[in-house]
Structure 1
Amino acid sequence: MLRKNHSAILVSFFFTACLWAQQKDKIPEVEALLEKMTLEEKIGQLNLLTPGGGVATGSVVSKNVEEKIKAGKVGGLFGVAGPDRVRMAQELAVNDTRLKIPLLIGSDVIHGYKTTYPIPLGLSCSWDMDLTEQAARMAAKEATADGIMWNFSPMVDIARDPRWGRIAEGAGEDPYLGSAVAKAMVKGYQQNDLAAPNTMLACVKHLVLYGAAEAGRDYHSVDMSRVKMFNQYLPPYQAAIDAGVASAMSSFNDIDAIPASGNKWLLTDLLRDRWNFDGFVVSDYTSVNEMIAHGLGDLQAVSALALKAGLDMDMVGEGFLTTLKKSLEEGKITEEEITVACRRVLEAKYLSGLLDDPYRYSDESRPEKDILTEENRALARKLATRSFVLLKNHNQILPLKKEAKIALVGPLADSRNNMLGTWAPTGDTKLAVTILEGFKNVAPDATISHAKGANISDDPEIAKKVNVFGSRIEIDERSPETLLQEAVEAAKASDVVVAVVGEATEMSGEAASRTDISIPESQKKLIRALVETGKPVALVLMSGRPLTIPEEFEMPVAILQVWHPGVEAGNAIADVVFGDYNPSGKLTTTWPRSVGQIPIYHSVKNTGRPAPEDRFQKFKSNYLDSENTPLIPFGHGLSYTTFEYSDIKLSNSEISQGESIEVTITLKNTGNVDGEEVVQLYLQDVVRSITPPKRQLKGFNKVMLKKGESKQVSITLSDDDLKFYNSDLEFVSEPGEFKVYVGTDSNATLSQSFTLK
């Protein structure tokens, strides 16, 4: 029988978490260092700087970095890569300082290092935790080969507002799936030995609730009840900590009106006392300084607030470096608080092996054999194919025949600069495979005519904002009318049209919130014109977020959502379009009909006046101008084959507290192609002491079936799966009826009930 992924993951992570806890009990080397350190040297370890010269990840670059390292005023760097450069930095710290303490070298390795793979939102749509772990392991191997031993990943923020650009960096809207992804990524980065030269310290971010920013506007305020927090937003952070994550990053937003970087309830009461986190906490980029703009005082005041709250390391802002000594002299902080923070940073250096060998990650032979290898690119291609979601397939337009006459059109069809996706600062766009190249590689016998057809956007102001990190939106010298006519002519002369449309990479990501998340009008015009030719049209939709596509969804087209797939984008897309791989991805976000429905997600609660789904009814909870239901539900994803669910059975109709229950269904591949299906289990707690969601994801299993094959698929619900945080924030289950739903998406209808005694 097949078991659900989540339960299997718990066992494998137990060893890592225990190992971390055991190592952190007593570290004589760290204690010996602390005994020798002056106050200034301790404060220096709390300072994280970036020398610049690489791809910017923030708006401030540190000054006089070399001099500060020599003076013992730096504990870590980021924005530095390459064994030679990292060795130079370590030599400054080791040879020119009194205590010879090496530096932590960090980086944002969000979805691959040099071998970029799909954006995290895309990767989550694979629902494959083994592949997710492999992806993180490959990223760690490449990054450590380039001298980096600390990764500002995974980002586990639950995001239910697709206007927020950083939805691209996480695993979507669901806490259960998000927790599984968080554990898999921590395991992949850290494995079971943090001192191994191919593993790196992971950093879970952003603590906490960053994905719930009001109005979907980046860095904005967050206001949320504790019950909602604990049940819906906190689980993935806790899952990463339970998996043994080495570090954590505070978020930009406030929680209960106190910014995260200075929030003692968050960084001490919750993180350390309740969750038993024993790693170190770093601020986000200048987030300590930004508490001034929040209205909490000057730099000295907010720096003292952050230290006392439990923040250990100050990223770039240098508030700790320049004010903590004065605050100590004035009695606003204690030396013990500085020592505790310093101890945590030093413990991380010990566990990563740096105190034993400062040059552990400076092996100049590794980049050539470990980075951008054929094996790594093959994995990136595989990861991309598993991330794609077939949203619609009108008249089975896809897959295409490899001998077809194809019009490949759209502004993203041959746009190398838009393949890697947002937050790929270590990737090289020049190495990306375009869709046009991928089509020629996979289907060399096809006749392919290419036309741009439209600009990503015709608005020069939007282009200016998006092109901060390089050209992403290129406004053609030819007129929009000329571009459109070229595409229409190519379409008319073809058997089938493939239109590659959607967002440029930096239309999502950090500081890339949008109020209008539809396909830009320049591309809408292209799609309409292509459909009007009467030719079969397949849309390859590229974006970093869910889009509002009600018009396109109603058209007689196929729609393959490919996110931003990474360095092997073109080859992977061609693999799926031509049927070499049968798509198996499932959405990890709900797609709204319009922005007016946001936030929209599958685990909503009933109101006291629930509306009927099939009609408008006055004095019920509905809209005048729209249905309540989403355009596309959470968990949705089609295949080139079809699957039939039947014969749901429970191992018991009644269980006691502490017992588990097994849910079994029969799954049959009823089509003519081998394929994978993500079997999803949703649970409804019918009556409880606080209002329950209509249903919650509580299990999944990805199953491969040959055409015509049937299998029994089992998913076990554990005791914890029945629990929730009540109004006293106790994690409890309550006696009563539970309904189980199993199916292909969050609208699953196959159901059974059981009773918890």
Structure 2
Amino acid sequence: MLSIRQSIYLVLLFSVSTCTALATNTEHHKYGTLNSEEYDHPELTIDDDIISMIGQMSVEEKIGQMTQINQDLVLGIDGVLNRTAVEYYAKNYYVGSYLNQLAVNGRNYDAADYAKIIEEIQEITLSVNSTFKIPIIYGLDHIHGAHYVANTTIFPHGINIAASFNPELAYESASITARDTRASGVQWTFAPVLDIPVNKQWPRVFENFGEDPHLSSVMGVASIRGYQGKYKTDRSKVAACMKHFIAYGAPYSGQDRDSTVVSERTIYDYFVPGFQAAIDAGVATAMESYIDINGEPVVSSKKYLRQLLRDQMKFGGMLVTDWQEMENLHTKHMVAATHKEAVRMAIADTSIDMSMVPQDVIFFESMMDLIKEGRVTMERVDESVARLLQLKKDLGLLEPNGWKADPKLQEMIQNDSDIEVAMEAARESITLLKNKNAALPLTKDKIKRVLVVGPAGDNLGHLAGGWTIQWQGATEDAWHGNVSDEQFYNNGISILDGMQNAVPEGVQVEYIQGFTIDGNDVNMDLVLEKAEDFDAFVVCIGEHIYSELPGNIHDLTLPQGQINNVEKLASFIGKEKHLITVLLEGRPRVLGSVQDNSDAILQAYLPGPWGGQAIGEVVFGLTNPSGRLPYTYPKYAGDTTLNYWRPANDIWDPLYEFGHGLSYSSFQYSNITVNGLLSTDEKQYLIAGEVEKEVSVNITNISPVDGKETIMMFVKQPFRIVTPPAKLLKAFQKVMIPAGETVNVRFSVDADLFRYTGLDGIPQNTIDNGAVKILIGDQEFELQLVNNNGE
């Protein structure tokens, strides 16, 4: 019979040795390469002391480590911890993990409050008799700051970070989030979100880094390094969690948690790269996806959670389910006739390590039965417990008092530099979509009085969106326009306040709401009555606040009432006065006549509660906008799956393309070369397996205004065996270019940039011979691609 050590080693080694890893491109930027040794990685082997522990633990203790329950099982509606309940779950079920916010009934807790409650849970858990005193690991969805903890710095959402095209902001915001999370007694964040939001109707678009695999990869890596760093020794860091594996962002209907119908090629070429980059960067944990792919639930899929994730992609970290997903095999996916069979499928057939149960102990009971019946082996259990305990050890939880929060970290929460990072992320993400006749910036020689209108004009909740303080955002009743700013404790700057902070001397800014987020009239007559007194109007519109399922919609068009009120105002003021539209939305909503009725349009996405300052600065020209669209903005409500990397033969008519974004500066691209040669010189070859080439391009700021420009390098293969995408982003740099100056930007290219999943179905295995193009701005360079293997 195999020893515990041999059993675990065999399972782990099998999962990393049977297939070739998927090919990835290494991104060079401030944070080094994806395999940088400056950051800790989860190991594929288990430490000796962990092996020894597993050999001495009971079956019940092992299953308990695999069990994660929600805080409401032990936290009363009054926010007071039920110590008896904690003892019950520790003593009878050896529960190894808790999750979720501790804010209840509108009562928020700061970091010290969080730490006190969680440390009580730890102390009770450790006091219960067991073979080893193993602390719990606590997890929270801290996806844009430690936003469940009162008085921490809340950052822009992932879609804003992507729009900034600045990985340093992803890194810095994640670093601060990690510190504030650890200060609260929490060691694990369920972030970053690395789904590719193919369907723009999906309500989780805003949590992600956009529709492009490369952009998502770079931002994901920067975030992971911010969250984790040297997490095995640095106790200001937390375990990151890449989610949701895999193909969650392409629901067939656009509704959250609906089935995904997608080809294997699309999975390998568009959904896998971001997760592979995260694994290469050392992400400590992963979360599987709610959905089924072509009818196969991910949570029970050997194909996706064993063969792809472990065998091919070499993920060695800990894997947790999403909320209630094992039970969903029985109640939602309808592939298991009983709950016990659902647990068997999810554990025996995959590499899942922890069940987010989360509201009962049925997982524990089913597992006990399955082990007694021999339907789940102890070797399989030991494999998961090994990864779980190794994670706890790496985070310092097994050290004496390693689970206690550091009061020094609590003293650092929401300092001025943290807030500045949040504001800078908002500044660099705001995207100027339209600027007819240079309507923006508003200057004192153009205007004397500005009226802010709309439901999002004087409100922090609409800036921050969902996953903020509460799961559904800082709301009392968001779906009827009632948004509560009290929960922010005055931590933030509304659009009205931001404009008043940035307004030139001698110019006045005032606010009249006009209409609700539904578009219903509040006092629109007053807006029109006062309109003659103002020179410009900033209309702040957008979406309800939502997260996940409650955010499902059946029409991408903005509420018609909002569109109608913008039209009414535009018609009343005529063409002599400027109408500026600011969009606060988690996904691109079809604008209808708002597009034509606006002189300028600012896409602010969800910039967080400090975002009003950034918007005010952009409106009045204190900040030069530099954000770029991280997704394709559709013109028509039916174009829910319009992505820039569409097959080359698709009809293409978006409102704005991926990467679009205007500036108060003007930039000119010139002199693209490869290895110093112009495109008019001798023919250049890219040969598979040989040394990479250097692409160089000059960018000149031909305006009198200093500005930041994002230089994007796309590649294109006009003809190949499988219908090619129109183009694909493969590198980018964001640089400041002073007025009148020229900068030279360089990228590396090689044949691997053109790899894809071919007709043989082997992931990223095919390179076709033929002409390829490098596209940067309006510059183009053609090379000949040669695969010496003749593939």
- Say if 1:453 and 1:484, in contact at 8 Å, map to a contact too: yes
Which residue pairs with 1:574 in the alignment?
A: 616
Structure 1 residue 11, shift from structure 2 partner: 3.4
Which residue pairs with 1:470 in the alignment?
A: none
Report the Cα distance in structure 2 between the residues aligned to 1:393 and 1:512, rounded to whole angstroms: 30
- Say if 1:94 and 1:102, in contact at 8 Å, map to a contact too: yes
**Equivalent residue runs for 1:154-553 within 5 Å:** 154-292=192-330, 293-297=332-336, 298-308=338-348, 309-317=350-358, 318-367=361-410, 369-401=411-443, 404-425=448-469, 428-430=487-489, 431-443=491-503, 445=505, 446-458=507-519, 480=521, 483-506=523-546, 509-532=548-571, 533-534=573-574, 535-553=577-595
**Equivalent residue runs for 1:106-125 within 5 Å:** 106-113=139-146, 114-125=152-163
- Say if 1:283 and 1:315, in contact at 8 Å, map to a contact too: yes
- Worse-superposed segment, 693-702 or 510-519: 510-519
- Say if 1:654 and 1:756, in contact at 8 Å, map to a contact too: yes
- Say if 2:450 and 2:509, in contact at 8 Å, map to a contact too: yes
- Say if 2:634 and 2:640, in contact at 8 Å, map to a contact too: yes
- Say if 2:178 and 2:227, in contact at 8 Å, map to a contact too: yes
Which residue pairs with 1:614 in the alignment?
A: none
Structure 1 residue 358, shift from structure 2 partner: 4.0
- Percent identity over paired residues: 30
Q: Which amino acid aligns with 2:143?
A: I
- Say if 1:389 and 1:585, in contact at 8 Å, map to a contact too: yes
- Say if 1:420 and 1:432, in contact at 8 Å, map to a contact too: no
SS of 1:100's equivalent in the other structure is coil
- Say if 2:119 and 2:403, in contact at 8 Å, map to a contact too: no
Superimposed CA distance per residue, residues 121-143 of structure 1 (whole angstroms, 9 cap, x where no aligned partner): 11110011111111111111111
Superimposed CA distance per residue, residues 602-643 of structure 1 (whole angstroms, 9 cap, x where no aligned partner): 111133xxxxxxxxxxxxx65xxxxx3111001000001111
Report the Cα distance in structure 1 between the residues aligned to 2:188 and 2:39, rounded to whole angstroms: 20
- Is 1:753 the counterpart of 2:782? The answer is yes
Structure 1 residue 419, shift from structure 2 partner: 2.2
Structure 1 residue 226, shift from structure 2 partner: 1.0
Residues 373 and 509 (structure 1), Cα distance of their counterparts in 2 relative to 1, 3 Å cut = farther
SS of 1:414's equivalent in the other structure is coil
- Say if 2:668 and 2:699, in contact at 8 Å, map to a contact too: yes
Structure 1 residue 193, shift from structure 2 partner: 2.9
Point out where structure 2 has 5 or more consecutive residues left out of the alignment. Answer: 1-24, 103-110, 147-151, 475-486, 678-683, 787-791
Structure 1 residue 677, shift from structure 2 partner: 0.8
**Equivalent residue runs for 1:683-694 within 5 Å:** 683-694=715-726
Q: Which amino acid aligns with 1:161?
A: N
Residues 117 and 316 (structure 1), Cα distance of their counterparts in 2 relative to 1, 3 Å cut = same
Report the Cα distance in structure 1 between the residues aligned to 2:76 and 2:237, rounded to whole angstroms: 23
Structure 1 residue 356, shift from structure 2 partner: 1.1
Point out where structure 1 has 5 or more consecutive residues left out of the alignment. Answer: 459-474, 608-620, 623-627, 744-748
Structure 1 residue 17, shift from structure 2 partner: 8.8
Structure 1 residue 329, shift from structure 2 partner: 1.6
Report the Cα distance in structure 2 between the residues aligned to 1:220 and 1:62, rounded to whole angstroms: 39
- Worse-superposed segment, 722-731 or 629-638: 722-731
- Worse-superposed segment, 586-595 or 355-364: 355-364
- Is 1:34 the counterpart of 2:54? The answer is yes
Q: Which amino acid aligns with 1:490?
A: K
Which residue pairs with 2:6 in the alignment?
A: none
**Equivalent residue runs for 1:615-634 within 5 Å:** 628-634=652-658
SS of 1:15's equivalent in the other structure is coil
- Say if 2:83 and 2:124, in contact at 8 Å, map to a contact too: no
- Say if 1:51 and 1:65, in contact at 8 Å, map to a contact too: no
- Say if 1:73 and 1:321, in contact at 8 Å, map to a contact too: no
Which residue pairs with 1:467 in the alignment?
A: none
Report the Cα distance in structure 2 between the residues aligned to 1:589 and 1:10, rounded to whole angstroms: 25
Which residue pairs with 1:737 in the alignment?
A: 771
Report the Cα distance in structure 1 between the residues aligned to 2:488 and 2:544, rounded to whole angstroms: 13
Q: Which amino acid aligns with 2:774?
A: V
- Say if 1:393 and 1:557, in contact at 8 Å, map to a contact too: yes
- Say if 1:419 and 1:505, in contact at 8 Å, map to a contact too: no
Structure 1 residue 173, shift from structure 2 partner: 0.8
Report the Cα distance in structure 1 between the residues aligned to 2:141 and 2:76, rounded to whole angstroms: 11
- Say if 1:72 and 1:97, in contact at 8 Å, map to a contact too: no
Residues 18 and 639 (structure 1), Cα distance of their counterparts in 2 relative to 1, 3 Å cut = closer
Report the Cα distance in structure 2 between the residues aligned to 1:296 and 1:64, rounded to whole angstroms: 33
- Is 1:714 the counterpart of 2:746? The answer is yes
Equivalent residue for 2:731, pick from 686, 692, 699:
699
- Say if 1:72 and 1:93, in contact at 8 Å, map to a contact too: no
SS of 1:20's equivalent in the other structure is coil
SS of 1:663's equivalent in the other structure is strand
Structure 1 residue 361, shift from structure 2 partner: 4.0
Report the Cα distance in structure 2 between the residues aligned to 1:721 and 1:210, rounded to whole angstroms: 25
Q: Which amino acid aligns with 2:36?
A: F
- Worse-superposed segment, 282-291 or 320-329: 320-329
Which residue pairs with 1:468 in the alignment?
A: none
- Worse-superposed segment, 513-522 or 272-281: 513-522
Report the Cα distance in structure 1 between the residues aligned to 2:38 and 2:56, rounded to whole angstroms: 31
Superimposed CA distance per residue, residues 138-179 of structure 1 (whole angstroms, 9 cap, x where no aligned partner): 111111111111010011000121110001110111111111
SS of 1:584's equivalent in the other structure is coil
Residues 210 and 66 (structure 1), Cα distance of their counterparts in 2 relative to 1, 3 Å cut = farther
Report the Cα distance in structure 2 between the residues aligned to 1:376 and 1:10, rounded to whole angstroms: 20
Report the Cα distance in structure 2 between the residues aligned to 1:387 and 1:488, rounded to whole angstroms: 32
**Equivalent residue runs for 1:606-645 within 5 Å:** 606-607=648-649, 628-645=652-669
Structure 1 residue 255, shift from structure 2 partner: 2.3
Which residue pairs with 1:465 in the alignment?
A: none
SS of 2:52's equivalent in the other structure is helix
- Is 1:130 the counterpart of 2:159? The answer is no
Structure 1 residue 437, shift from structure 2 partner: 1.6
Report the Cα distance in structure 1 between the residues aligned to 2:373 and 2:416, rounded to whole angstroms: 59
Report the Cα distance in structure 1 between the residues aligned to 2:425 and 2:539, rounded to whole angstroms: 22
Residues 706 and 46 (structure 1), Cα distance of their counterparts in 2 relative to 1, 3 Å cut = same
- Worse-superposed segment, 210-219 or 443-452: 443-452
Count residues in correspondence.
703
Report the Cα distance in structure 2 between the residues aligned to 1:172 and 1:18, rounded to whole angstroms: 25
Equivalent residue for 2:119, pick from 87, 91, 96:
87
Structure 1 residue 518, shift from structure 2 partner: 2.1
Which residue pairs with 2:68 in the alignment?
A: 48
Residues 134 and 361 (structure 1), Cα distance of their counterparts in 2 relative to 1, 3 Å cut = farther
Q: Which amino acid aligns with 1:708?
A: G
Structure 1 residue 490, shift from structure 2 partner: 3.1
Report the Cα distance in structure 1 between the residues aligned to 2:667 and 2:32, rounded to whole angstroms: 31
Report the Cα distance in structure 2 between the residues aligned to 1:41 and 1:5, rounded to whole angstroms: 41
Report the Cα distance in structure 1 between the residues aligned to 2:76 and 2:178, rounded to whole angstroms: 19
Residues 449 and 54 (structure 1), Cα distance of their counterparts in 2 relative to 1, 3 Å cut = farther
Report the Cα distance in structure 1 between the residues aligned to 2:395 and 2:404, rounded to whole angstroms: 10
- Is 1:565 the counterpart of 2:607? The answer is yes
Report the Cα distance in structure 2 between the residues aligned to 1:288 and 1:679, rounded to whole angstroms: 44
- Is 1:141 the counterpart of 2:168? The answer is no
- Say if 1:420 and 1:429, in contact at 8 Å, map to a contact too: no
Report the Cα distance in structure 1 between the residues aligned to 2:298 and 2:291, rounded to whole angstroms: 6
Report the Cα distance in structure 1 between the residues aligned to 2:703 and 2:286, rounded to whole angstroms: 46
